[in-house]
Structure 1
């Protein structure tokens, strides 16, 4: 989690630049609004993504099942993420930042439209009238002929999906032309929600391996080098949530941003979603582990913000989120005598019986490119089918 100064939401000015030096410091009210908004924006995709992950896990069509992260995937993910992060850092140092960000903008423009369309589709379906002329379409791509013909992509969609895609494209064009922070956040929220919904850990042990590995990754690249902060400030793509600290003074044209990487949302989020599915598998009609981990996430994120302002330095959020999100649920399991059940639970071993009705909202940095590549394989309508699904990681 970092503080950054940006122009129109399109990038960050180095602290030593004249623009940063001339900018007045944020007011306490502005900082409170910015960080409070970031916390709320981080909680929304985790909460609703976890609920949607339950529905996703109930799919009876094997081709519609989410990508499952195994222990092997979890163990190698920090290595892949480190290579990706270092590669991006070197690219920004060697090549022109302008051209790199142009290519990245086009890539995330397409990916963001798909993610946002998939996110709003269930909501928009409720607003279509019963007599809406909804036609079915199919996009089929094959290779070979006769008995050797093989399906590569079999994509089914309807008119409602096209309407959602058109609405998402408007946001995409807005982001591409203006790089406005609101458009950035709409895409960032969509990426986060889809990541929590579509990337499933197969068991708690795998979750501990993944979070533990990325704990070391995050600490090393933030405290050990300036690579993480440099890439985050140079990367003009919706791979982070931002909120202006000078919104009260400048309105929507504010340009002094606080930021939170999407990896700090998705990585703990998929673990929290796993605990929700574990709660349901116990068939006790409670969501103890989900609420515990959710509150632990709030505590960890709040602690990150507090420490950042004490030491005036960007903080690796996973340093505080990982111990909280793993430790608190394990403590509850130990007190309830359900540690064995927790670690023996396999997320993909059963079809969950129902979608939970969570009516009360609790009170209270993985590699962006790696996360994008993982989600790209699953960002589509639930009706998208592939004969051979690539690995999630």
Structure 2
């Protein structure tokens, strides 16, 4: 599967009901798991070649509407169709998507032990009767897909909470690693839109909570509790992925300037503080909370305060990854032309 298709699938899967925290009792586990996942995803997003595809302002504006449409569609499906039937279809979908996500997550570790040409030589497979449809992959990706396939089979058969969480974390890491906002302006538009989206669907309708409880798929992390009436707490993947891609952009901004990560630290601390605040408020009111209500202002606020303190607001707002993607090649060309002269 190509990167753009994988990004779209991950994004839609996360946004469907992502931003939600419901009855979280093991607070420390939630904070450590979510924060560590964001940290890993951010550092995996730093690559020698800047991303060639970034999100536009228009796509960022449409994202909350796409997420709302998906969320409402699922709510209606669960309302008018058998819950078991819907979850069976979703299990098949996430079985395939889970293999892709796990394989991509494991690939950097596995390919170190494989021959070099296995990592570089592309194999193109075309669908029978649909020759225009093709999949590109390497032998290393096939090897990485073997444990992913067995693991997803275990999840599909047992639906164990640990298997659910590992798949969910793979989705989060891949989403943060691969999805580029392009600029902080686009990121602010996306987070602001989802900030409103989250508040509306949690506080003003029963849709988000209803789908979260009915949806038996790895788009939420499950944490066992001592309460027999409610055996698991839930944390939506969007509470990790959505702010995570913004925090990752801060890290790549630091790297592009050739300095030690500094704004990444403030954005990451802001994420952790926002998550802690979400859990505190939720436990205080004993009700589901839209996590982005607390995480978005915290992440943007910590980063903005740090930039204002250092006087780097202009540089931050002018940063655009789609433009920096060509800068290494341009600088190389400039050097070679000077040598010729």
Of residues 223, 235, 255, the one that matches 1:280 is: 255
Q: How do 1:370-381 and structure 2 match up within 5 A?
A: none
Distance 2:185 2:150 in 1: 42
Question: 1:236-259: CA deviations, max 9, x gaps?
Answer: 11001111123xx99xxx971111
Per the alignment, in what secondary structure is the counterpart of residue 242 of structure 1? Answer: strand
Structure 1 residues not aligned, in runs of 5+: 5-25, 60-64, 145-149, 355-393
Per the alignment, in what secondary structure is the counterpart of residue 201 of structure 1? Answer: coil
C-alpha contact 1:117 1:164 (8 A) present in aligned 2: yes
Per the alignment, in what secondary structure is the counterpart of residue 54 of structure 1? Answer: coil
C-alpha contact 1:3 1:257 (8 A) present in aligned 2: no
Of residues 26, 29, 34, the one that matches 1:37 is: 29
Deviation, 1:140, is 3.3
C-alpha contact 1:113 1:169 (8 A) present in aligned 2: yes
Q: How do 1:23-172 and structure 2 match up within 5 A?
A: 31=25, 34-55=26-47, 58=49, 65=51, 67-126=53-112, 128=113, 138-141=123-126, 152-158=133-139, 160-172=140-152
Deviation, 1:282, is 2.0
Normalised TM-score (structure 2): 0.83
Distance 2:135 2:307 in 1: 43
Cross-structure match for 1:345: 319
Question: 1:204-225: CA deviations, max 9, x gaps?
Answer: 0110000000000000100101
C-alpha contact 1:54 1:352 (8 A) present in aligned 2: no
CA distance 1:320–1:141, shift in 2 (3 Å): same
Normalised TM-score (structure 1): 0.73
Distance 1:71 1:133 in 2: 38
Distance 1:135 1:84 in 2: 37
Question: 1:109-142: CA deviations, max 9, x gaps?
Answer: 110111011001112234x377999895612338
Distance 2:221 2:314 in 1: 37
Distance 1:135 1:123 in 2: 15
Deviation, 1:151, is 6.0
Of Structure 1 and Structure 2, the greater helix share is in 2
Q: Tell whether 2:217 aligns with 1:217.
A: no
Of residues 258, 282, 285, the one that matches 1:311 is: 285
Structure 2 residues not aligned, in runs of 5+: 1-19, 329-341
Per the alignment, in what secondary structure is the counterpart of residue 54 of structure 2? Answer: strand
RMSD: 2.8
Distance 2:21 2:119 in 1: 45
C-alpha contact 1:140 1:151 (8 A) present in aligned 2: no
Per the alignment, in what secondary structure is the counterpart of residue 348 of structure 1? Answer: helix
Per the alignment, in what secondary structure is the counterpart of residue 232 of structure 2? Answer: strand
- Aligned residue pairs total 309
Cross-structure match for 1:2: 21
Deviation, 1:171, is 1.0
Q: Tell whether 2:197 aligns with 1:206.
A: no
Cross-structure match for 2:239: 264
